[in-house]
Homo-oligomer: A and B are copies of this chain.
Amino acid sequence: MTTSAPARPIRIAMLGCGVVGTEVARFLLRDAEELGRRVGAPVELVGIAVRRLERTRSLDIPSELFTTDAKALVTRGDLDVVIEVIGGIEPARELILAALESGASVVTANKALLAEDGDTLYEAAVKAERDLYYEAAVAGAIPIVRPLRESLAGDRVERVLGIVNGTTNFILDAMTTTGAGFDDALDEAQRLGFAEADPTADVEGFDAAAKAAILAGLAFHTRVTIADVHREGITEVTAADVASASEIGSVVKLLAICEIDPEGSQVSVRVHPAMIPATHPLASVRGAYNAVFVESEAAGQLMFYGPGAGGAPTASAVLGDVVTVARHRVDGVFGPGETVHAQVEVLDIGRARTRYHVQIDVEDRPGVLAAVAEAFAVHDVSIKTVRQEGRGGDAQLVVVTHEADDAALAATVGQLRDLEMVRGVSSVMRVEGVS
């Protein structure tokens, strides 16, 4: 609240000046006056640490702001806010800790670090009595950290389903729209700049897994690291899978899924491709957009949608946090920290409750349905629907199950593959977003 006259300037330093950092600096310099009014004190960008000065010359940023000595910058002692947009584990962690110890609040977009070792940072922020804000770390410009941490703080979040990686959503959307296979869709995404030359972090689900860990921690007031997250990427998703999804009125999405059981004692946090009904709000999230769908006891179903990456959108999230923590600095206070009092068990994927869609190529002869049904039954997996289509001497069975332990479903699929009458299991995918 800005009741008093503008106080001493809020001094801001930034670590890193890549795609996001350049946009942050540009807005901070251009809008300093307006941001100062919102903060209640002048804001001043006092330094930017980069690895190599040569690359900064082409930027429209005063050269005297740049330094290669990041450690000296964050420990100069008069900073109010340090923005960290280097990414990765080190030196980001060391610098963030040094900044907090030196009395600065920190705004970071570093999902990898938060998902790997958030606890160290959260505890350092508490000890330093400074803010650690990270809206930009999950789903880019979409406000999701603040809604989970504050807006839903009086509610019980039951499930979070997120499309939190734009590259994979672009690829799966292209496969859905054009019928292309994964490789062709990836080529197209790379050509258009939606996938990196080495797409591993995106297509193998590492990026989404980091965000899932952060979301689960926030949603369920507990500690979750990336090591707790079951992760499957989209490289095995075939055009046939996408077509199968379409036949049951669904689309394939890479989902970050965070669920808690009704007793609030066990959570499942996982990233994998899944079929969701075309009528689900997440199904219409196209291209490289992100969205996070939240189900809570009182609020019901909420969705947050927007650009999940990119320089300017991520800068928007960073600067929202900068204004918030700068206001706190002006008032000499700090915001809500992590609440991790609910120490809940993170379930192994085998114990997660899921549904499966299984497409089985079988010989078209008497007894085959009975044999297939038996494979489900012996693993205690209940079948919701089965559809048989004859195809010459062959037939195809499409089975959608009720919810069961993931391990039981996987074992069922394993047994199906071994059945003599089964020629092949052509599509296996989890089904989500069905109530």
Q: Identify which of A135, A150, A151 gathers the most chain B CB atoms within 10 Å of its CB.
A: A151
Closest-by-CB residue of B relative to A131 is B1
Q: Mark A124-165, 1 if CB is under 8 A from B, else 0.
A: 001001000001000001110011001111111000000000
Q: Mark A163-194, 1 if CB is under 8 A from B, else 0.
A: 00000000000000000000000000000000
Q: Give the distance to chain B from A435, nearest Cβ to Cβ, in Å.
A: 15
Complex CA gap A337/B316 in Å reads 20
Contacting B at CB under 8 A, from A270-310, are 281, 284, 296-307, 310
* A409: Cβ under 8 A from any B Cβ: no
Task: Provide the residues of chain B in CB contact with A300, threshold 8 Å.
Answer: 141, 306-307, 310, 312-313
Q: Give the distance to chain B from A299, nearest Cβ to Cβ, in Å.
A: 4
The count of chain A contact residues (Cβ–Cβ below 8 Å) is 62
Interchain CB contact (< 8 A) of A320 among B154, B305, B337: B154
Interface of A is mostly: mixed
Point out residues on A near B: beta carbons under 8 Å.
Answer: 1-3, 23, 27, 31, 35, 37-38, 126, 129, 135, 141-143, 146-147, 150-156, 221, 281, 284, 296-307, 310, 312-313, 315-324, 327, 331, 333-337, 339, 341-342
Apart from A143-B151, A154-B319, A327-B336, what are 15 other A-B pairs with CB-CB below 8 Å?
A1-B334, A2-B337, A31-B156, A37-B341, A143-B152, A143-B302, A146-B147, A155-B316, A155-B320, A297-B312, A298-B319, A299-B307, A302-B305, A331-B333, A333-B333
